[in-house]
Structure 1
Amino acid sequence: MSTPATPPKIFDRVLLRRRRDRIASVADPRRDFLFAESGERMLDRLDDVRRRFPLALDLGSRDGLLGRLLQGRGGVETLIQGDLSLGMVRQAGGRALQLDEEALPFAPESFDLVLANLSLHWTNDLPGALAQIRHVLKPDGLFLGVLFGAGTLAELRGVLMEAEIAETGGASARVSPFADLRDAAGLMQRAGFALPVADAETVTVTYVGLMPLLADLRAMGEANILDARLRRPTRRAVIARAAALYQEQFAMPDGRIPARFRLIFLTGWAPHESQQQPARRGSGKINLGEALRPPRAP
């Protein structure tokens, strides 16, 4: 029997954990605003599901933000919170534990609901992470997640690349690869979810310039963790040129620059016999030829 291939190392998750540990105890409003926005939009989808969830998992809970947003919503009775960062877990309090989204420490069929608010885009093996989520769901359990999708920070990616090429003659890896909407829907099917749905929304945040945008990304713990990233500080000339290019190419009438975050929302159910099933192949009662035949003249 062949050994499963090890997924490539795209992200430095040790660095991700260290950065989250560093920001865990910092009371900075810039740290949570985007996660609060995506969390509210995800919970709006949960509000549409009319059922109770006795045991739920907040996967990648950070400091417990999603739990605070829930406040009894969505039929959640007991919430377990888990994050890669021990510092974040300590901030979350309650029923919280340190875990790795790439190696879930739960038995199969443990949860009625799994929520993942912007915690899966840093996994090296997203298909594997989704498959693990399905395995820890009880039959007919629900998964709701949101992750950054293709198009996120496209403006930043473009100006940094252009500036670095102009100043150094080459370009380093700076912005993460993101799944697009079609990829996300396919990954849900591949992971074995029933009734999978993927949809997308865009959140646009405006800034007076490039430096405040970069400061926000650092405050959120969302700066570059690509394993192939540049390992030395970026030249000031590169940042200065990128800031000028951003302003020149994307400035709005009021002079502010936009940063667009593409949010992909994932919904799927652990399979159960009670769920709606596609018709058995060949069970149709109408002949296709008859259905496509043009109507006869009167």
Structure 2
Amino acid sequence: MSITPLLFDSAQIASNLARRPDHANFVRDLVVEDLADRLGTYRRTFTSAVLIGPDAQLLPQRFATADAPIDMQRIEAFDGREFPAIPDGLHDLIVSLLHLQAVNDVPGHLARLRKSLRPDGLFMAAFLGGESLTELREAFLSADVTISGGASARVAPMAQVRDAGALLQRAGFALPVADVETHRVRYATPFALIAELKRLGASNPLADRSRRFATRTLISAAAQAYAAHDSDTDGRVRATLEIVWIAGWVPHESQQKPLRPGSAKVSMTDFLRPGETRQP
């Protein structure tokens, strides 16, 4: 039996969050607003809903679909456990916000969440992925090579939206969908971005990170590389933030299923005029 490598240090994540000066989080506010819009498009009533996320008690308790309000049971994402303390029983909606980007075994985690949903239950999640913080990653890579001749892991790897649907299918979800919301955030200097990440509790969460503090020389070199490659004409620097959204359903006989190959009842030639061919 294979053992999933520990990519993220859950104790370090909890420590990062505990050291925050406050609980303000503009990223969380973005995904909460987006979640409200997305749930509002569903014509369905959810009677047992769970919302998983950091600072769970600061998340809204009530959302709404196009048909009815939803009362959420809020569950803390980063409480030191590998899997959130989801209430017993089968639920018809589970939402995960800003958690999957720091889960070691994502397929296994999704499979466990699916088992907490009843047939035809909906799972939704938003997590940081794609090209998020790619500018900071490249700046530190350049600085590490310049200063020490090597590279250390300083920014967590990000899952790509093209892989998200496959992860849902692997975990047993049906009708998977995935999309990405891209935001460009600007800061006065790279130091302001680094300070913001610290305030958000998003400092390096990797288990394989260097245990040495980054030196002033390294941080200065990274800031110079950042400004050289990702600054605007007014001197401010850009940071990419991509929020990947995924959704899937627990299989149920009422759901639409694709036709078997060769089972179509109508030929494409029936729609073409005589002598007309379809061009590739």
TM above 0.5, yes or no, is yes
Contact 1:147 1:265 in 2 (8 A): yes
Contact 2:54 2:98 in 1 (8 A): no
Q: Secondary structure at the match of 2:130?
A: coil
Of 152, 161, 169, 1:181 maps to 161
Q: How far apart, CA to CA, are the structure 2 residues paired with 1:151 and 1:42? A: 21
Q: How far apart, CA to CA, are the structure 2 residues paired with 1:76 and 1:85? A: 27
Specify the alignment match of 1:33 in structure 2: 26
Of 76, 83, 86, 1:102 maps to 83
Q: What is the CA distance between 1:45 and its match in structure 2?
A: 1.0
Q: How far apart, CA to CA, are the structure 2 residues paired with 1:101 and 1:82? A: 13
Contact 1:131 1:191 in 2 (8 A): yes
Q: For 1:127-276, what aligned pairs fall within 5 Å after superposition?
A: 127-276=107-256
Kindly indicate which of the two structures has a greater share of residues assigned to helix: 1
Contact 1:55 1:76 in 2 (8 A): no
State the Cα RMSD in Å.
2.3
Q: Give the aligned residue type for 1:131.
A: A
Q: Secondary structure at the match of 2:19?
A: helix
Deviates more, 1:127-136 or 1:54-63: 54-63
Q: How far apart, CA to CA, are the structure 1 residues paired with 2:272 and 2:255? A: 34
Contact 1:61 1:81 in 2 (8 A): no
Specify the alignment match of 1:279 in structure 2: 259
Structure 2 unaligned regions, length at least 5: none
Q: What is the CA distance between 1:60 and its match in structure 2?
A: 2.2
Percent of aligned positions that are identical: 36
**2:275 is aligned with 1:296:** yes
Count how many residue pairs are aligned between Structure 1 and Structure 2. Answer: 274
Q: For 1:69-148, what aligned pairs fall within 5 Å after superposition?
A: 71-74=62-65, 75-86=68-79, 100=81, 102=83, 105-107=86-88, 110-148=90-128
Of 4, 13, 16, 1:16 maps to 13
Q: Secondary structure at the match of 2:47?
A: strand
Q: What is the CA distance between 1:105 and its match in structure 2?
A: 4.9
Q: 1:200 to 1:178 in 2, by over 3 A?
A: same
Contact 2:52 2:84 in 1 (8 A): no
Q: How far apart, CA to CA, are the structure 2 residues paired with 1:38 and 1:192? A: 25
Q: Secondary structure at the match of 1:171?
A: coil
Q: 1:76 to 1:19 in 2, by over 3 A?
A: farther
Contact 1:102 1:125 in 2 (8 A): no
Q: What is the CA distance between 1:150 and its match in structure 2?
A: 2.1
Q: What is the CA distance between 1:106 and its match in structure 2?
A: 4.7
Of 31, 46, 65, 2:58 maps to 65
Q: Secondary structure at the match of 2:92?
A: strand
Q: Secondary structure at the match of 1:53?
A: coil
Q: What is the CA distance between 1:233 and its match in structure 2?
A: 0.4
Deviations 1:64-101 (A, max 9, x none): 33326xx4433454321112445xxxxxxxxxxxx735
Deviations 1:147-188 (A, max 9, x none): 111211010000111011111111100111111111111111
Q: Secondary structure at the match of 2:60?
A: helix
Q: How far apart, CA to CA, are the structure 1 residues paired with 2:84 and 2:185? A: 33
Specify the alignment match of 1:94 in structure 2: none
Deviations 1:98-118 (A, max 9, x none): x735365554x6211111111
